[in-house]
Chains A and B, each alone.
Chain A
Amino acid sequence: MKHVVAPVAAIPAGARHVTEAGGKRIVVYNLGGEFFALADRCPHQGASLSAGQIMGHVCSTAPGQYEYARRGEVVRCPWHAWEFDIRTGKSFFDPRRVKTRAYDAHVECGELLAAEAFSVAVENSYVVVEV
């Protein structure tokens, strides 16, 4: 089910936006013009990920080395600080089994959305999620 979140201009790069769609709270992130949507709920004890800090991912192959990349692409749960990959919703400590749901998010132009009977301004583009 398609859900129109907001005009693209409302979610600048680096920002996050919380919305409700299909009875679920969803947080949308803009990573350098690409949009990603996650369930706004940590799988641990249910905290709102949208309240969490954003950072990069630090990994290391040896003690004393800090390889820091992907700045802005990791959200840390506001409570116990579990790190989640904004692009996929997967946790970094156990990506196979611990994750928050990721939804498809992309941009559509107002004209096409209006044709699908969404009430939008045809001159704008919109962030859309599929729930």
Chain B
Amino acid sequence: MRSFEGAIDADLHPMVPGLDALRPHLEPFWADSIDQRGLEGFESQSYPPHAPRTVRADWRPQGRFPGLPEMQAWLDKTGAAIGILNPIYGVQLIFNADMNRAFTQGLNNWVRAEWLERDARLRASIVLPNETEHAVAEIERLAPDRRFVQAMRLVMGEIPHGRRTHWPIYAALEKHGLPLCLHAGSAYRHPVTSLGWVSWYMEDVAAQQQAFQSAVASLITEGVFVQFPGLRVVLAESGVSWLPAFLWRMSKGWKGVRFEIPWQAEPPAETVRRHIRLTAQPFDAPDEAAAQLLGHLGSQDLLLWASDFPHWNYDGLPSLPPGVDREKFLRGNAAALYNRLERVPA
């Protein structure tokens, strides 16, 4: 039996080979813009195409990006029943709101046509355009297709995720029963630290850990889950081990500073456990600390298994953190979270 038979893989990446792949899926004006303006592509500094972590060496056939066949072979190998695609291609970096919208829609169209149409195991996130009204429109456009199981933004945007300017998006997601996925990466509206730009890519990779803390702090303090009690949020590729210390600090602060955010009527840790889930690849803790760390999380309901194909986080097959509830981790938590996963084998 394959190691992850029947599992739900909550984070895989369809790699965009280049702008040409999106061309047939763009509106004609934007497709023609590629040549008219000499657009080279929207690869992001978060995942430089040739950097070792972006694609594991054995998943990089003849030096090019893996495509659908390689991903299918991977799903065959793990035995996952469902794979959820988070398309990472730096459309969020585009400043022109209309261009951003156009290329984001093109990316979603490409994912549907080239991936979802071709393998019944696959599901996808709706990549959201930056502007609130464009994002709501994109949710309305794609939500009827039940292969889109959540909506995705990069964890580092321009305005913190809790802010009211985003709320029409959350209303739309709550209405459709779609979680919001915040995925590692930046739109580079700000440097990846609150202290300015970093010298090394290694710092950029590490900085995701801080980004997720700030994102959760914003969601909680702004009262997003009070306003949208049906909304769930998935933190993808966060590393996980930062969460307990963050919750301790935030809950402690809340006891004395509650009056600044009076809508937050319960300890923040309880809100997080109810509304937030985390993919567990990467999992930033050594085996010998994992069981204690899971105890610190205080719940077996939080983690979603993910392979993060084709990012290089491990060699061979991913391992399970010691102490995790295997059924919940591999399948149950995701099945409870995503209410569109029809035909998930028991």
Binding site for B on A (CB under 8 A): 55, 58-67, 76-77, 80-83, 92-93
Contact pattern, B 252-285, Cβ under 8 Å of A = 1, otherwise 0: 0011111101110101000000000000000000
B258 near A92 (CB under 8 angstroms)? Answer: yes
B223 near A63 (CB under 8 angstroms)? Answer: yes
Q: How many A-B residue pairs have CB under 8 A?
A: 43
30 A/B residue pairs, CB under 8 Å, sorted by A: A55-B259, A58-B259, A58-B262, A59-B262, A59-B265, A60-B262, A60-B263, A60-B265, A61-B263, A62-B223, A62-B226, A62-B227, A62-B263, A63-B224, A63-B227, A63-B261, A64-B164, A64-B223, A65-B263, A80-B255, A80-B256, A81-B256, A81-B257, A82-B255, A82-B256, A83-B258, A92-B258, A93-B254, A93-B258, A93-B267
Distance of A58 Cα from B257 Cα, bound (Å): 12
Closest chain B residue to A79, Cβ basis: B256
A31 → chain B closest CB, angstroms = 19
Closest chain B residue to A80, Cβ basis: B256
A51 → chain B closest CB, angstroms = 15
What residues of chain A lie closer than 8 Å to B259, measured between beta carbons?
55, 58, 83
What residues of chain A lie closer than 8 Å to B43, measured between beta carbons?
none
Distance of A80 Cα from B252 Cα, bound (Å): 9
> Which residues of B80-97 are within 8 A (CB) of A?
none
Distance of A59 Cα from B258 Cα, bound (Å): 9
B226 → chain A closest CB, angstroms = 6
> Which residues of B284-301 are within 8 A (CB) of A?
none
What residues of chain A lie closer than 8 Å to B258, measured between beta carbons?
83, 92-93
Q: Is B222 interfacial (CB-CB < 8 Å)?
A: yes
Closest chain A residue to B162, Cβ basis: A63
Distance of A62 Cα from B222 Cα, bound (Å): 10
